[in-house]
Amino acid sequence: MSTTTASDVREEVRRRYAESARALKEGSGGCDCSCCGSEPDARFGRTLYRIEQRVELPDAATLGSLGCGNPTAVAELREGETVLDLGSGGGIDVILSAKRVGPSGLALGLDMTDEMLALARATALEAGVKNALFLKGLIEDVPLPAESVDVVISNCVVNLSTDKAAVFAEIARVLKPGGRVGVSDIVAEDRLTPTDRGERGSYVGCIAGALSKTEYEEGLREVGLEDVAVVFTHEVADGMHAAIVQAVKAAG
C-alpha cells in the first residue's frame, strides 16, 4: 500500500498551480486544474473581488485568482506599511496591496511555484506597480527577517500546508510588534473530524487539509497572537466554509 507523504502533497499543489499558470500564459483563460475550485464558481476566484478592483488590474491577475476570499478587503492596509502575502499565486492580492500602501510602502509575495512567480511579476509590471516584490520560498519557512512586516495576508493557501504549526510560527516571527493578520481560508465546522473533511474533498482542492474553527484559533494563540477571530463567510461544502481569519501580535 502506498503512503502519501507531506512532500507528495506539496508537489501535487505545486504541479497544479504550475498548470494553471501555464494555461493563463498560453491564453486559455485558466484550466480545470486549479486549487480551491475553478471558474466560474462564485465561491472561489475573481468573483470575490469588487468590480472596481478588477477593472484596474490586468486580465491575467484576475483570471489567475484561485482564492476563497479577498483578504485585502479586511486587512485595513495603511500608507507606508509592508505587507506579506503567503502563497501569492498570480499576484492579485499583492498588486492590490501595493496600491493600498502606496509608493512609501511595500507589498511582498511569497510562492513556491516558478510559473506563478513569473506570472505575478509580469502582471505587476503590466499594472505599473513598482512597490511589489515576489520571493520564492515556502510559507513554512519564510525567507524574511524577524519583525519585518506590518501585515500578513493569504488567500486560500494555509489549508494546503501540511505543517500549519510552522506556518503560524512563521507568521508570528515575521510580524512586527503590533502587526496584523488578515487571511482568507477554508475552515471546517468543529463537528467535522479529519475523516469527514477528507470525504468532502481533496487536499489539493482545499478541503481535506482544512483546520476546524477551534484548531485554527488555538494554533494562532499558541504562537502568541492575540485578538484571534475566525468568521465564516460562505459555505463551500457541507460543514466547510470560506472564512476571514484575523489576529494581532502584541505591541510589546
Give the pLDDT mean for 202-210: 77
Phi, psi of 186 (to 5 degrees): -95, 130
In 3-state terms, what secondary structure has residue 229?
A: strand
Each residue's pLDDT tens digit, 37-80: 444 444 444 444 444 454 455 555 554 455 566 777 778 899 99
Give the pLDDT mean for 200-206: 74
Give the pLDDT mean for 2-16: 75
Each residue's pLDDT tens digit, 81-128: 999 999 998 888 999 999 999 999 999 999 999 999 999 999 899 889
- For the ranges 67-71, 182-186, 207-211, the lowest mean pLDDT is seen at 67-71
Q: What is the CATH number of the domain that holds 234?
A: 3.40.50.150
In a domain, 141, yes or no: yes
Nine-digit cell at 98?
A: 501595493
| pLDDT computed for residue 36 by the predictor | 53
In a domain, 114, yes or no: yes
Give the pLDDT mean for 140-161: 95
Nine-digit cell at 68?
A: 476563497
In a domain, 176, yes or no: yes
Contact (CB, 8 A) for 205 and 37: yes
Contact (CB, 8 A) for 242 and 68: yes
Distance CA 58, CA 191 (A): 41
Q: Which residues of 214-233 are buried (b: 16+ CB within 10 A; e: fewer)?
A: ebbbebbeebebeebebeeb
The one-letter amino acid at 151:
V
In a domain, 186, yes or no: yes
| pLDDT computed for residue 138 by the predictor | 96
Give the pLDDT mean for 215-242: 95
| pLDDT computed for residue 134 by the predictor | 98
Give the pLDDT mean for 217-237: 95
| pLDDT computed for residue 202 by the predictor | 73
CA gyration radius for the chain? 17
In a domain, 1, yes or no: no
In a domain, 63, yes or no: yes
In a domain, 181, yes or no: yes
Domain count, the chain: 1
Phi, psi of 102 (to 5 degrees): 75, 180
| pLDDT computed for residue 199 by the predictor | 85
Indicate the Cα dihedral angle 189, 193, 194, 196, nearest 10°: -90
Contact (CB, 8 A) for 144 and 171: no
- For the ranges 17-21, 96-100, 110-114, 197-201, the lowest mean pLDDT is seen at 17-21
> Which domain does 118 fall in, by range?
6-249
CA separation, residue 205 to residues 107, 171, 202, 237, 252 (Å)? 27, 23, 5, 11, 38
In a domain, 52, yes or no: yes
| pLDDT computed for residue 30 by the predictor | 45
Give 165's Cβ-side CA count (13 Å radius). 1
| pLDDT computed for residue 139 by the predictor | 96
The one-letter amino acid at 67:
G
